[in-house]
Structure 1
Amino acid sequence: MRLTEAQIDFYRQHGYLILKDVFREEDLRPVTEAVEAHLDERARQLHAEGKLSELHASEPFERRYALLYAQSREIGSNLDIMKSKLQALFDFLRNERLLDVAGSLLGEELTCNPIQHLRAKVPAGYAGTADTFQNVPWHQDAGVTLEEADDSEIITFWLPLVDAMAETGCMEIMPDVFRQGQLEHQAAGGTTIVPEQLPDRQPVLAECPKGGLIVMNKYTPHRGTPNVSGIVRWSIDLRYQRTGEPTGRPFHPAFPVRSASRPETVERDYDGWKMRWDAALKESAGQQLHRVK
């Protein structure tokens, strides 16, 4: 899906873009099936260890994780992309429809930034008040990269695996604020913009149905909202940039996903990708990832 000139202009003017019908069911199904299989394996392991009393094996993708999470927080301990290292997620990083959108803004020499996440936001009734990570506070994605990437155009691509609506805890976005550049962040309450620097700007409720995509400038403030529904809000957030520019995470593996000039450099080695993440996570343990006070 290539962006139209009007869509590109909207993104350049406001710092975000909400797209519908980017992905087909056949694009997303391998991802959800792989996550379901991984979740089932992890649940059975915890059940064998006596940490889960009920597997809820017949529950659908949208509900099972919440029921497991209510019994043991450990169910989510290795869920993220770089920890689960599922091949379906690795393959999705090169999804042609996704790269067409990214290429519309960045050109045809694209690298996948190593900041990439699979997230499961459980309904508020399952999370408890201590799980503040469920509702990410106001922040800019530039705040979680090191200074080396200040001149890199790193764009966030956020997509839901279920409908992300107000009741399921979609994002809120501050339009136009990206022009102010990097705002100071602090660690209190999660990596967040220092309250005194938070712009006085009416946010946009960024509802996005399954199959859609939200594109954001790295300086666009955004936050999560509570999931008050009865289902899990599953989402993936990825970042792409021009090949050769600093990533802001030099100790984590980035790799080309599209190249018109050197197509042979595109990363397709799944086993190599896994090994690089294993080594990087071990070697970077304790590294400062966020720029905070």
Structure 2
Amino acid sequence: MLTSEQIERFHADGYLAVDRLLDYELDIKPVIDEYQRLLDDLCEQWVAEGRLVEPYSDLPFEKRLVEVYRAGCDYYQAFDIALPNGNIRADTPIHCGPAVFDLLRSPRLLSAVESLIGGEIYSNPIQHVRIKPPARVIEKEDVDNALVGATRWHQDNGVALPEADETKMLTCWVAVSEATPENGCLQVAPKSHRKGIALHCTISNQLGIPDALIEQEQARPVPLKPGGVLFFHPMCKHGSLENQSDAFRWSFDLRYNPIGQATGRPHFPGFVAQSRLDPESTLD
């Protein structure tokens, strides 16, 4: 559970960073191991399809991803835990592995979520993994892909459907690798959740807030250690910095809302992550 001081800070500022909230061995490492196995399988598939000349099995995870990316293999959708908003086909990949499922239901995470939205917790289907390469290796056509490049300023209520305008949605941004200003950590605008919804429009393939409407001097980068979590309000303005480092930056953005409230993405399924009133309704 969060402390009363942390809860007050969240409501005052619209966000709260809690470093090392999750246990690395119990919550984070199983996810890393699962994605390494997934990459093994994908490389074998891409070699069989003639898209890769070799599986690069001797390379460490990040260097292997660079080779996969340079070969034109779309690892980021195959790694993602949600389907894209459009152009979904029968063979569109999505990752729904047990380690990610366990992360979504982590007692340490849900305890903090309960402190902010109550004990009836629904896993909202608007969620992603973002394993972002160094900006120097990103192809021009992917610069504005939010799963690969920097994410533009936006509010979650500005990109969800209007049905979720009154939903008490909570975003939990989970650091798998260390997140720093250099490698593209999230940045927030403190207290912006009090100012209402801003204009959102499509800018270079991303739905976001025009730069002219952002007071850049108020932007606050939020660095986190692995296992750290940034919680923020659906009206909090936020975006990510560009990855100027030589390494990948890995995070999940997970969302939860009280059971029974609209998710803002009704065409995708969610599930009951925790229920104090009806424990048997929880998905195990």
What is the aligned length? Answer: 267
Amino acid corresponding to residue 159 of structure 1 in structure 2: V
| CA–CA distance in structure 2, aligned partners of residues 176 and 169 of structure 1 | 22
Q: What RMSD over aligned residues (CA atoms) do the two structures have, in Å?
A: 1.5
Q: Is the CA contact (8 Å cut-off) linking 2:51 and 2:73 kept in structure 1? A: no
Counterparts in 2 of 1:271-282, with a 5 A limit?
Answer: none
1:163 matched residue in structure 2: 178
Which of the residues 175, 189, 202 maps onto 1:187?
Answer: 202
Which of the residues 221, 225, 232 maps onto 1:216?
Answer: 232
**TM norm structure 1:** 0.87
Structure 1 unaligned residues grouped into runs of 5+: 269-293
Structure 2 unaligned residues grouped into runs of 5+: 83-93
SS at match of 1:241: strand
Whose helix fraction is larger, Structure 1's or Structure 2's?
Answer: 1
SS at match of 2:122: strand
Q: Deviations over 1:124-169 (max 9, x none)?
A: 1211333122111111111221111111110100011110112211
Identity %: 34
Counterparts in 2 of 1:92-241, with a 5 A limit?
Answer: 92-131=103-142, 132-133=144-145, 134-189=149-204, 190-199=206-215, 202-241=218-257
**TM norm structure 2:** 0.89
| CA–CA distance in structure 2, aligned partners of residues 63 and 136 of structure 1 | 23
1:11 aligns with 2:26: no
| CA–CA distance in structure 2, aligned partners of residues 201 and 146 of structure 1 | 30
1:42 aligns with 2:53: no
- Deviation of 1:19 after TM superposition, in Å, equals 0.8
| CA–CA distance in structure 2, aligned partners of residues 214 and 97 of structure 1 | 14
Change beyond 3 A, Cα 1:113–1:77: closer
SS at match of 1:191: strand
Q: Is the CA contact (8 Å cut-off) linking 1:140 and 1:221 kept in structure 2? A: yes
Amino acid corresponding to residue 260 of structure 1 in structure 2: R
1:85 matched residue in structure 2: 96
| CA–CA distance in structure 1, aligned partners of residues 262 and 137 of structure 2 | 39
Change beyond 3 A, Cα 1:63–1:3: farther
| CA–CA distance in structure 2, aligned partners of residues 254 and 123 of structure 1 | 32
| CA–CA distance in structure 2, aligned partners of residues 260 and 117 of structure 1 | 27
Q: Deviations over 1:23-72 (max 9, x none)?
A: 11221111111111111111121122222234332333344322321222
1:253 matched residue in structure 2: 269
Q: Is the CA contact (8 Å cut-off) linking 2:76 and 2:130 kept in structure 1? A: no
| CA–CA distance in structure 2, aligned partners of residues 47 and 148 of structure 1 | 43
| CA–CA distance in structure 1, aligned partners of residues 238 and 101 of structure 2 | 26
